[in-house]
Amino acid sequence: AQSVAQPEDQVNVAEGNPLTVKCTYSVSGNPYLFWYVQYPNRGLQFLLKYITGDNLVKGSYGFEAEFNKSQTSFHLKKPSALVSDSALYFCAVRGMEYGNKLVFGAGTILRVKS
Amino acid sequence: ETGVTQTPRHLVMGMTNKKSLKCEQHLGHNAMYWYKQSAKKPLELMFVYNFKEQTENNSVPSRFSPECPNSSHLFLHLHTLQPEDSALYLCASSQPTGSNEQFFGPGTRLTVL
């Protein structure tokens, strides 16, 4: 089976400060890992993915994520948060043996205050 | 979001009604998906279609009936729904290999009275 945990329901950060949204996963074999963002009344938007290679992945809007195989984590980071980053963030995993079936975490609300 | 469109954006229906949700993708993808998003619950995969063939039915009640007439269109036919079926229904598409990200539509907000 494959699963994703996002341990924080909400993360609060001041504008200009670095942010981290946590994600851990469980899957047999090597994972494909994804981050998506959802703004109110919108669908999910793809931010970045880890497939293989460099553990630090860079994505849209200045976001990046670090794959840590030993800790089975894929935390989302940004060096300097913007108020416009406030949204709902989802981590997702797909094990290579699961075809194109993606499993999502419960989501983390990010609030950036000015 | 313009790559995947969904209609209607909002739908209110009674428990005895029959309605359909429509999804269209303009990205040349060969896999399409239906998800259910309820408040404070993880996104639930409902159905997967690869090359117009259903490859996943995630124990979805038969009152939800999907249809995929071609690789660009996906429907979700609804009948005799329950109030707990009220949710945001999201359509997505991708290429069918595992490393490809999915592209989502804006969703249909469904309310069952």
A96 pLDDT above the threshold of 80: no
Residue B40 pLDDT class (50, 70, 90 cuts): confident
Quote the pLDDT of residue B10: 96
Q: What percentage of chain A has pLDDT greater than the value 90?
A: 79
Quote the pLDDT of residue A1: 78
Asked if A42's CB is within 8 angstroms of B43's CB, the reply is no
Residue B88 pLDDT class (50, 70, 90 cuts): very high
Q: What percentage of chain B has pLDDT greater than the value 70?
A: 98
Contacts of A101 in chain B (CB under 8 A): 45, 48, 56
Give the mean model confidence (pLDDT) for residues B91-111: 91
Lowest mean pLDDT across A45-49, B36-40, B44-48, B61-65: B36-40
Dist. CA B12–CA B30, nearest whole Å: 30
Query: B93 with B31: CB under 8 angstroms?
Result: yes
Candidate from B90, B99, B100 with C-beta closest to A43: B90
Length, in residues, of chain A: 114
Residue A2 pLDDT class (50, 70, 90 cuts): confident
B1 pLDDT above the threshold of 60: no
Residue B26 pLDDT class (50, 70, 90 cuts): very high
Dist. CA A79–CA B49, nearest whole Å: 39
Cα dist. A113→A9, A40, B68 in Å?
A: 17, 17, 44
Q: Quick count: other Cβ atoms within 10 Å of Cβ B73?
A: 15
What is the tens place of the pLDDT at every residue in A15-61? Answer: 999 999 999 999 888 889 999 999 988 889 999 999 988 999 999 99
B2 pLDDT above the threshold of 80: no
Quote the pLDDT of residue A10: 97
Quote the pLDDT of residue A69: 93
Dist. CA A35–CA A87, nearest whole Å: 13
Quote the pLDDT of residue A58: 96
Give the mean model confidence (pLDDT) for residues B1-19: 90
Asked if A36's CB is within 8 angstroms of B104's CB, the reply is yes
Interface of B with A (CB under 8 A): 1, 4, 6, 31, 40-43, 45, 48, 50, 55-56, 90, 92, 94, 96-107, 109
Residue B57 pLDDT class (50, 70, 90 cuts): confident
Quote the pLDDT of residue A114: 94
